[in-house]
Amino acid sequence: MTTRDNILITGASSGLGAGMARLFAAQGRNLALCARRLDRLEALKTELEGINPSITVRIKPLDVNDYDQVFQVFHAFHEEMGRLDRIIVNAGLGKGQPLGTGAFHANRQTAETNFVAALAQCEAAMEIFRAQNDGHLVMMSSMSAVRGMRKNINTYAATKAGVASLAEGLRMEMLGKPIKISTIYPGYIRSEINEKVEKAPFIVDTETGCKALVAAIEKEPAKAFVPSWPWRPLGLAMRILPLSWVRRMT
C-alpha cells in the first residue's frame, strides 16, 4: 500500500477533522487543512507543528457551500504541495428537524452542505486524482445512512446515504485503477456536531473515535464501520431488521 504523505481534510477546524489531523501529524504526514473558521485552523496549525516540527501544514479558509471556492482551494493546495495523496471529505452539518414542522430552511441547509457540497468536493478531488492517476478519496458517511432515520436526523441520514451511494458509484468506476475510494460509516463519536445529544448508544469520546477512524482509513477499505465493535454487526442487523425494530434501536 502506498504511503499517503500529503493529506487534505475538509472541516478540519474542530471535531473529527481536527482529531484526525493530530493523529496524521504524529505519523509524519503533511497536511492541507480547510474550514470556515480560520482562527481555529491557525491555532491547530501551531499545535500540529509542535507535535511534529518536520511536517508541512498548510491551511486555507473554505466554506464548502461556495462551490467555486472548493475547486480553487483544492487546486491551490495541490499546486503548493506538488501532489495530494489522500482527500478526506469530512465537512458536514448535523442539524435538522422532523419533516413538516416548519424547519425546511434547516433541513435544506443540511442537505446542501452534506450532499451537494460533498459532490463539489468529490468533483475537485477526482480532477486532481485523475490527473495524477493516483490517490485515495475518503467519504465520511454515517451509521445513520444504513436505513432511513426518523425525526431530527431524517434529512441528515438521507444525505449520508447519498454520500455512500456516490462513493460506491465512484468505487465501481475505479475498480482495477490506482485511485482508491473508501466510505467510512462512523457510529456515535463525541464531537461538536453532536455535543448537545445526551443519550447516544455506544458513544465513544473524540480521541478514541478518531484513533479508530485513522486506523480504518489507513487500510484503504471499500467501506468500514467505525468503531468496528459494535457498529459492524449492528450495521448488518439494521439492514435486515423490520423498521419497527430499527426504531427501537435509534
Catalytic residues: 156
Distance of alpha carbon 249 from alpha carbon 194, whole angstroms: 18
Tell me the three cell numbers of residue 32.
Answer: 492541507
- CA-based Rg of the chain, rounded to a whole angstrom? 17
Tell me the three cell numbers of residue 232.
Answer: 459492524
Task: Spell out a b/e string for 141-177, using b for 16 or more CB atoms within 10 Å of the CB, else e.
Answer: bbbbbbbebeebbbbbbbbbbbbbebbeebbeebeee
What's the full length of the chain, in residues? 250
Name residue 225's beta-bridge partners: 185
- CB 96, CB 103: distance < 8 Å: yes
Burial class (CB in 10 A: 0-12, 13-18, 19+), 89: buried
What is the three-class DSSP state of 227? coil
The alpha carbon of 44 is separated from its chain's Cα centroid by a whole number of angstroms, namely 18
Please give the single-letter amino acid code of residue 223: K
End-to-end CA distance of the chain: 37
- CB 160, CB 114: distance < 8 Å: yes
